[in-house]
Structure 1
Amino acid sequence: MTPFWKLSAAGFAATAITYGPARMGFGLFLPQFKSVFGISTQSAGFVSSLGFLGFFVGLLVSQVMTNRTGPRLSIVCGLVAATLGMGIVAAAPNLPVLSVGVLLAMSSAGFSWAPFNNVIHRKVEDGSRPAALSLVSTGTSLGIAAAGGAALLMSIGGISWRLCWATFAIASVVSLLGNWMALREVAGTPGPGVTQRWSLLLQPPAIPLLGIGLCYGATSAIYISFAADRIAQAGGVAGLPANASGGLVFICCGIFGLIGLFTGSAKASTGLPWLLRLLLLASALSSGLVALLPTSWAGVVLSAGLQGVYVMMMSAVLAFWSERLFPALPSQSFTAALLAVAAGSVLGPAAAGFASDALGATPMFLGTAALAAATAAALRSRHIRERPEPD
Structure 2
Amino acid sequence: MPLSETLTMSPFLTLSIAGFAATAISFGPARMGFGLFLSQFRDSFGIGTTMAGLISGAGFAGFLLGLIAAYAATAWRGPRLPVLIGLFLATTGMAIVAVAPNAGTLSVGVVMAMSSAGFAWSPFNNAVHQQVEPDMRSRSLSVVSTGTSLGAALAGAIALALMLGGASWRIAWAAFAAAALASLIGNLVAMRGVAGQPGRGRSNWRVLCVMPALPLYLSALSFGVTTTVFISFATDRVVRAGGLEGLPLQASPAVMFIIYGIAGLAALGTAAIKDRIGLPRLVRGLLVVSALSLALIAVLPTSWPGVAAAAGLQGIFVMMMSAVLAFWSERLFPELPSFSFTATLLAVALGSVIGPALAGVLSDGLSPAAMFLAAAALSGATAIAMRPRLIRETPLDCEDQPGPAR
The residue type paired with residue 156 of structure 2 is G
The answer as to 2:138 corresponding to 1:167 is: no
User: Match of 1:302?
Assistant: 309
User: Match of 2:144?
Assistant: 136
The answer as to 2:84 corresponding to 1:76 is: yes
Please report the RMSD computed on the Cα atoms of aligned residues, expressed in angstroms: 0.8
The residue type paired with residue 223 of structure 1 is F
The answer as to 2:370 corresponding to 1:360 is: no
The answer as to 2:32 corresponding to 1:24 is: yes
User: Match of 1:258?
Assistant: 265
CA contact (8 A) 1:291 1:362 kept: yes
CA contact (8 A) 1:117 1:133 kept: yes
SS of alignment partner, residue 211 of structure 2: coil
CA contact (8 A) 2:203 2:339 kept: no
The superposition leaves residues 157-202 of structure 1 with CA deviations (integer Å, 9 ceiling, x where unpaired) of 1111000000000000100000000111111111121x44121101
User: Match of 1:6?
Assistant: 14
| In structure 1, distance between residues paired with 2:274 and 2:60 | 29
SS of alignment partner, residue 283 of structure 1: helix
Matches within 5 A, 1:108-187: 108-187=116-195
The answer as to 2:343 corresponding to 1:336 is: yes
User: Match of 2:323?
Assistant: 316
Query: Which residues of structure 1 form unaligned runs of 5+?
Result: none
Cα distance, 1:265 vs structure 2: 1.2
The superposition leaves residues 37-83 of structure 1 with CA deviations (integer Å, 9 ceiling, x where unpaired) of 00111110000000000000000000000001101110000000000
CA contact (8 A) 1:118 1:192 kept: no
User: Match of 1:236?
Assistant: 243
Q: Which of 363, 379, 383 is the aligned partner of 1:376?
A: 383
Q: Which of 208, 222, 225 is the aligned partner of 2:215?
A: 208
| In structure 2, distance between residues paired with 1:116 and 1:126 | 14
The residue type paired with residue 276 of structure 1 is V
Relative to the length of structure 2, the TM-score reads: 0.95
| In structure 2, distance between residues paired with 1:378 and 1:196 | 29
- Aligned-residue sequence identity (percent) comes to 58
User: Match of 1:389?
Assistant: 396
Q: Which of 287, 291, 297 is the aligned partner of 1:280?
A: 287
Q: Which of 63, 66, 88 is the aligned partner of 1:55?
A: 63
| In structure 2, distance between residues paired with 1:125 and 1:196 | 24
The superposition leaves residues 202-239 of structure 1 with CA deviations (integer Å, 9 ceiling, x where unpaired) of 11111111100000000000000000100000111111
User: Match of 2:109?
Assistant: 101
| In structure 1, distance between residues paired with 2:378 and 2:396 | 30
| In structure 2, distance between residues paired with 1:56 and 1:245 | 30
The superposition leaves residues 5-45 of structure 1 with CA deviations (integer Å, 9 ceiling, x where unpaired) of 11100000000000000000000000000111001111100
| In structure 1, distance between residues paired with 2:62 and 2:87 | 14
The residue type paired with residue 387 of structure 1 is T
CA contact (8 A) 1:287 1:368 kept: yes
Cα distance, 1:262 vs structure 2: 0.6
| In structure 1, distance between residues paired with 2:209 and 2:236 | 39
CA contact (8 A) 2:333 2:396 kept: no
The residue type paired with residue 17 of structure 1 is I
Relative to the length of structure 1, the TM-score reads: 0.99
Cα distance, 1:389 vs structure 2: 3.1
User: Match of 2:403?
Assistant: none
Cα distance, 1:305 vs structure 2: 0.3
